Amino acid sequence: MQTTPLLETKDLSLQFGGLKALQNVTMQVPAGEFRGLIGPNGAGKTTLINCISGAIKASSGSILFDQSETVNMEPHLISQLGMSRSFQHVQIFGDRSVRDNILIGMHRQIKQNLFGQLLGLPGTRAAEREAALHAEELLKRFDLDDVADRPAKLLPYGVLKRLDLARSLAAKPKLLLLDEPTSGMSEEEAHRAIAMLKDIARQDGMTLVVIEHNMRIMMELADRISVLHLGQIIAEGTPEEVTQNPVAIEAYLGEDDADA
């Protein structure tokens, strides 16, 4: 009696020249789940997220998002269906304030060309007031209220990563894809940020697919984990199942730097 998953990839494959970066990746993520994506360096994790978000076109296979076939759709159209993502390397507007970056994140999904105008407008309309309130809430929840008015480029990397998280949550997407959202944070900071993320996701009914190398965080917070290796899903299950899976241990979890 399973309901239709929010995200489903079927036999997704992608080649870069002779390199098979993704090989028949078939994966289902039900609505509301926190799905972890792990695997060694070069396994294809970022590439998979790039395909799902439309940044890179798959060579073959299918991607169903919220019952729409998106495999050949442009990224901005996929984004309008309610999918948002972060990047392995932070992408922010350095000259803009922290608050503006969150407002931009909020409006970008609604209407691509609105954000430029938005920041010059006096925020009188109800929707804008609501956006401003939501931004303040995110600033607080991610401990960014003290730096809200500072240009983002002046912030240390760990704080920028928190901003990136807050920004990607701002549009309340149905599905949020996060590529190593806690890299550059201390373990404690990372733990807090992901717990906060999970909290907000649950509150807003969001589904998460998160690439994260820190297994302690994954064990505690992911509902299920998919393990990628050489472009293939080699194991999948609850954190407990995956950490006991000999194939996953062999490919990834046995590595000394698995949680580096």
Ligand X SMILES: Nc1ncnc2c1ncn2[C@@H]1O[C@H](COP(=O)(O)OP(=O)(O)OP(=O)(O)O)[C@@H](O)[C@H]1O
Ramachandran assignment for 32, one of left (phi > 0), alpha (psi -120 to 50 degrees), beta (any other)? left
157 binds, among ligand X, Mg ion, none (CB under 5 to 8 A by kind): none
Decide if 218 contacts 38 (C-beta within 8 A): yes
Exposure of 78 in the CB half-sphere (CA atoms within 13 A) = 26
Among positions 30, 32, 42, 75, the unique one binding ligand X when judged by CB under 6 A: 42
27 binds ligand X (CB under 6 A): no
Please, which residue, 118 or 178, has the CB nearer to Mg ion?
A: 178
229 binds ligand X (CB under 6 A): no
Please, which residue, 147 or 227, has the CB nearer to ligand X?
A: 227
Stretch that binds ligand X, among 16-24, 197-205, 218-226, 252-260 (CB under 6 A): 16-24
How far apart are CB 70 and ligand X at their closest, in Å?
A: 19
CA separation for the pair 7, 30 (Å, rounded): 7
Decide if 235 contacts 212 (C-beta within 8 A): no
How would you classify the pairing of strands 175-179 and 60-65?
A: unpaired
Q: Total residues at the site for ligand X (CB under 6 A)?
A: 12
Among positions 6, 7, 12, 21, the unique one binding ligand X when judged by CB under 6 A: 21
Residue nearest to Mg ion (CB): 46
* CA-wise closest residue to 28 among 206, 211, 222, 237: 237
Among positions 35, 45, 85, 108, the unique one binding ligand X when judged by CB under 6 A: 45
CA separation for the pair 244, 75 (Å, rounded): 37
How far apart are CB 250 and ligand X at their closest, in Å?
A: 17
Residues that bind ligand X (CB under 6 A): 16, 19, 21, 39, 41-47, 88
